[in-house]
């Protein structure tokens, strides 16, 4: 078992937590990470939406949203993430950013780009639909990726929407979701120990029997 897929969105704080934990397992096991785009807000306009109002409606009140932010801040601190939710003014449209990740994946620098995108949004409060930000990140990773913005569709948009559609048709309703060797799936920002246990199961399965898809959790998380 050498590959692990992560189905995630880039404005999902639980996905950032899960990604950090997966990277620790990846480094220890020599796993190959495969990024699968998911759109938590597939009908979001390219300009995004105002975050405070969106989350107050989603979670029932501004105070409920702030409580969740405080919980996430504490969890992030344990993973070396300095969540700065107060800097985020809008929920970003992520189609273009996912397209950049897919290009980075083809060039084998996906982990670098994903980490920088998560940090840009959650730590710096940047807009992930800003063409200047995305192009700067591409250049920093040695990628010839450009998007002028405006009415011009970003590179990889068709692939991103197809990946999202494939995930929803497969029953994915929340992210992050991790799929080990195409055999075992676990959803939610699970502890490192849980990811390690599923990786062990997938390894044992690949050594003893043909692969069969098995879902181990349905705790995918929504929201940003």
Structure confidence by residue, pLDDT tens digits, 39-54: 999 999 999 999 999 9
Burial 134-166 (b: 16+ CB within 10 A, else e): bbebbeebebebebeeeeeebbbeeebbebbee
What confidence category does residue 220 fall into, taking pLDDT thresholds of 50, 70 and 90?
A: very low
- Crossing angle between the packed helical segments 62-78 and 51-59, to the nearest 10 degrees: 100
Neighbours of 208 (CB within 10 A): 7
What confidence category does residue 216 fall into, taking pLDDT thresholds of 50, 70 and 90?
A: very low
Which residues are CB-contacts of 190 (< 8 A; sequence separation ≥ 6)?
A: 18, 21, 178, 217, 219
Q: How many Cα atoms are found within 13 Å in the side-chain-facing hemisphere of 76?
A: 20
**What are the structural domains of the chain?**
3-215 (3.40.30.10)
End-to-end CA distance of the chain: 31
Q: Alpha-carbon distance 202 to 96, whole Å?
A: 33
Question: Does the pLDDT of residue 210 top 90, yes or no?
Answer: no
151-202: pLDDT as tens digits: 899 999 999 999 999 999 999 999 999 999 877 899 999 999 999 999 998 8
């Amino acid at each position: 078992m050498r590959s692990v897929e992560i189905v995630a969105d880039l404005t999902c704080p639980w996905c950032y937590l899960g990604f950090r934990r997966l990277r620790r397992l990846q480094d220890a096991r020599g796993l190959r990470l495969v990024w699968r785009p998911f759109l938590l807000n597939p009908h979001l306009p390219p300009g995004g939406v105002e975050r405070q109002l969106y989350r107050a409606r989603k979670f029932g009140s501004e105070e409920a949203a702030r409580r969740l932010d405080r919980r996430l801040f504490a969890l992030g601190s344990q993973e070396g993430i300095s969540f700065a939710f107060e800097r985020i003014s809008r929920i970003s449209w992520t189609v273009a950013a996912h397209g950049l990740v897919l290009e980075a994946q083809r060039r084998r620098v996906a982990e670098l780009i994903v980490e920088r995108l998560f940090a840009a949004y959650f730590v710096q409060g940047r807009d992930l639909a800003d063409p200047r930000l995305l192009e700067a990140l591409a250049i920093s990773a040695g990628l010839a990726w450009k998007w002028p913005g405006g009415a011009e569709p970003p590179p990889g948009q068709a692939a991103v929407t197809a990946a999202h559609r494939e995930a929803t048709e497969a029953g994915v309703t929340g992210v992050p979701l991790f799929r080990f060797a195409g055999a075992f799936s676990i959803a939610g920002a699970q502890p490192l120990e849980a990811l390690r246990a599923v990786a062990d199961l997938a390894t044992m399965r690949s050594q003893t029997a043909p692969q069969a898809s098995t879902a181990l959790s349905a705790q995918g998380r929504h929201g940003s």
